[in-house]
Amino acid sequence: MTDAPVDPTTTRAWKALGAIVTDGFDPDLRGWFDADPQRAERYTLEAADLTVDLSKNLLTEEVLGHLLDLAREVDVTGRYRAMLAGEHINVTEDRAVLHTALRRPSDGDLTPPKPFTVDGEDVDEGVHGVLEKVYAFADQVRDGSWTGMTGERIRTVVNIGIGGSDLGPVMVYEALKPSVQDGLEVRFVSNIDPSDVYEKTADLDPATTLFIVASKTFGTLETLTNARLARQWLWQGLADAGAIEDTDESRRGAVSKHFVAVSTALDKVADFGIDPDNAFGFWDWVGGRYSVDSAIGTSVAIAIGREGFEQFLAGFHAVDEHMRTAPLESNVPVLMGLLNVWYTNFLDAQTHAVLPYAQYLHRFPAYLQQLTMESNGKSVRWDGSPVTTDTGEVFWGEPGTNGQHAFYQLIHQGTRLIPADFIAVANPAHALKDGDTDVHALFLANFFAQTKALAFGKTADEVRAEGVDEAVVPARTFPGNRPTTSILAPSLTPSVVGQLIALYEHITFVEGTVWGIDSFDQWGVELGKKLAQEITPAVQGDRAALDAQDPSTRSLIAKYLDLRR
């Protein structure tokens, strides 16, 4: 799939969608629901355990027909198949893109069938080999047979990573907190701001702490710096407690019991001093932001155990299979991706809100920011030519109901179109009551109310009918026709969390395919990293390095050096 991408703007479907807008597309969700009693049913779909209601989107049969044609014209299905088959669709890095292989079951009816060989390697053998090693290690930590230098069991696991080596694990850990083994806690250090590692370790006992250094490349400045700080903290703490001696051998012994690593660069892991036996590998065909279901999820596997992690992977796989087998008309990731294209490229939406009505999903929007924006924030296509239309939406969000009391005002009555995904689960982890009131039901009443208000609004006449002073009628009127997708799952199980992640991975894929971009590279993060390295001597007082900076950066650094005590 290294052929030149189809320019979506030249397709018949694109032109037809454009014509609908130029002819004065005038969304009318009230009218559409009145005219079509089947609308809710027709646009409510299932993907594994997820019920997805698309009916409150700015969608007509005509628009839908053209969006589906667009998917056909840019060959979303063909490109997905190419991805599953291990073709090098990550063109700029000349790599296969095989996160879907991370969750293939070890047996059963598989597509592609076994043996599945990519670039000369049996993919399933590699994936399941690493998984077994992760599970065996997780078992040891969970049952207390993995001990630290003093022979005590591990009570706190600290994952050190950033980007895909942090956002996925922390999001899933938070989402599945009720399933975490009692007596075990996982913390996450990501920022190179020293306050992060300081705060996360300040109250810990080194004797019962295990660090996982998670880095695909094992070359990321933030992660390696934090890993060295953590190692220093460990040595100091163990020495103060008399648990190690002042020798290299003793310190090496401490690292072997308190540090493990996850990386594709096992040679660099060894250079850091971590025993390769305590390292879990993965492959360059897994992008960082697509890696939580690889060994990068080791912290999660420790927290929820083998069975939980297997269910997590099964959830991903169920949605992969839905994406592969469901016809385009009922294919949830395809339709959600196409709707995003509709809003972005035809209705001028620039951002997309993701609003989980599940407190345990509070890190989901942050996770999606990397998944979607590092994937699709591109200005060139996979053949190097400029994109032909806008790409990438700004994803953002906070859990409901907190968002309702913060930024929903703008979604309801602002001048911008903000498509929003509402996500809820029917069964809470904690079924608390306030008197006779089921608090989760109260919570979900908000979930239902918000999408209703956004879709149908409140007319000026309805406001007047409440006896409102005419002068404030405009301020109290809600225009409606604000598009939302509602996603409802039975409960927040490991499987459902895997399903949600896979859903958004594939939505991202669909959008990237329409735009003709390589959603699997991230060259845009390189320049800043390189400049930070060049600037480091200047902020440490090197005069020549300071003089070499542009005037603005030079004066800012000079001010910093003045302020620094």
Nearer Cβ to ligand F6P, position 57 or 215?
215
b or e along 470-492 (b: 16 or more beta carbons within 10 Å of the residue's beta carbon)? eeebeeebbebbbbbbbbbbeeb
Residue 113 DSSP one-character state: P
Task: Tell me which stretch binds ligand F6P (CB under 6 A): 30-38, 210-218, 245-253, 350-358.
Answer: 210-218
* Pairing assessment for the beta strands 121-122 and 117-118 based on DSSP bridges: antiparallel
Query: Rounded to an integer, what distance in angstroms lies between the CA atom of residue 98 and that of residue 19?
Result: 38
CB 503 → ligand F6P: shortest distance, Å? 20
Nearer Cβ to ligand F6P, position 216 or 381?
216
Nearer Cβ to ligand F6P, position 50 or 279?
279
Nearer Cβ to ligand F6P, position 508 or 522?
522
The Cα angle at residue 230 between residues 224 and 235, in degrees rounded to 5: 125
Binding status of residue 217 toward ligand F6P by CB under 6 A: yes
Binding status of residue 169 toward ligand F6P by CB under 6 A: no
CB 380 → ligand F6P: shortest distance, Å? 18
125 closest CA partner among 111, 139, 114: 114
Alpha helices in 432-493 (DSSP H): 439-456, 460-464
The residues that bridge with 187 in the sheet, in sequence order, are: 158
Task: Tell me which stretch binds ligand F6P (CB under 6 A): 216-224, 241-249, 499-507, 511-519.
Answer: 216-224
Nearest residue to ligand F6P by CB is 288
Binding status of residue 223 toward ligand F6P by CB under 6 A: yes
List 90, 100, 156, 165, residue binding ligand F6P (CB under 6 A): 165
Q: Phi/psi of residue 156, each to 5°?
A: -130, 130
Residue with tokens 């839908």: 64
CB 296 → ligand F6P: shortest distance, Å? 8
CB 259 → ligand F6P: shortest distance, Å? 16
List 55, 215, 345, 499, residue binding ligand F6P (CB under 6 A): 215
- For residue 275 the two structure tokens come to 């025993």
Nearer Cβ to ligand F6P, position 150 or 217?
217
CA quadruple 238, 244, 247, 250: dihedral positive or negative? Answer: negative
Q: Which of 405, 430, 466, 526 is catalytic?
A: 405
CA of residue 425 relative to chain centroid, distance = 19
Binding status of residue 162 toward ligand F6P by CB under 6 A: yes
Nearer Cβ to ligand F6P, position 465 or 527?
527
501 closest CA partner among 305, 370, 348: 370
Ranges within 360-399 binding ligand F6P (CB under 6 A): 374
List 8, 27, 148, 163, residue binding ligand F6P (CB under 6 A): 163
CB 265 → ligand F6P: shortest distance, Å? 8
Nearer Cβ to ligand F6P, position 55 or 215?
215
CB neighbour class for 549 (10 Å; exposed up to 12, middle 13-18, buried from 19) = middle
Binding status of residue 289 toward ligand F6P by CB under 6 A: yes
Cβ atoms of 296 and 282 within 8 Å: the answer is: yes
Query: Rounded to an integer, what distance in angstroms lies between the CA atom of residue 399 and that of residue 421?
Result: 11
Question: Using CB under 6 A as the criterion, what x/- string covers residues 525-554 for binding ligand F6P?
Answer: x-----------------------------
Question: Using CB under 6 A as the criterion, what x/- string covers residues 248-287 for binding ligand F6P?
Answer: ----------------------------------------
DSSP assignment of 64-84 equals HHHHHHHHHHTTHHHHHHHHH
Q: Which of 174, 310, 374, 511 is catalytic?
A: 374
DSSP assignment of 129-143 equals HHHHHHHHHHHHHHH
Nearer Cβ to ligand F6P, position 217 or 369?
217
Binding status of residue 522 toward ligand F6P by CB under 6 A: yes
List 237, 288, 297, 400, residue binding ligand F6P (CB under 6 A): 288
SS3 label, residue 361: helix
Residue 277 DSSP one-character state: G
Question: How crowded is the C-beta side of 289, counted as CA atoms within 13 Å?
Answer: 22
Catalytic status, residue 511: no
Task: Tell me which stretch binds ligand F6P (CB under 6 A): 77-85, 215-223, 421-429, 472-480.
Answer: 215-223
Catalytic status, residue 199: no
Total interface residues for ligand F6P by CB under 6 A: 14
> Counting every residue, how long is the chain?
565
Nearer Cβ to ligand F6P, position 376 or 522?
522
Binding status of residue 99 toward ligand F6P by CB under 6 A: no
* Pairing assessment for the beta strands 44-47 and 437-438 based on DSSP bridges: unpaired
Three-class HEC string of 164-219:
HHCHHHHHHHHHCHHHCCCCCEEEEECCCCHHHHHHHHCCCCHHHEEEEEECCCCC
Catalytic status, residue 412: no
CB 84 → ligand F6P: shortest distance, Å? 22
Q: Which of 121, 529, 534, 559 is catalytic?
A: 529
Nearer Cβ to ligand F6P, position 165 or 477?
165
Query: Rounded to an integer, what distance in angstroms lies between the CA atom of residue 395 and that of residue 383?
Result: 26
Cβ atoms of 333 and 377 within 8 Å: the answer is: no
Query: In the complex, which residues of this chain contact ligand F6P (CB under 6 A)?
Result: 162-165, 215-217, 220, 223, 288-289, 374, 522, 525
Q: Which residues are catalytic?
A: 374, 405, 529
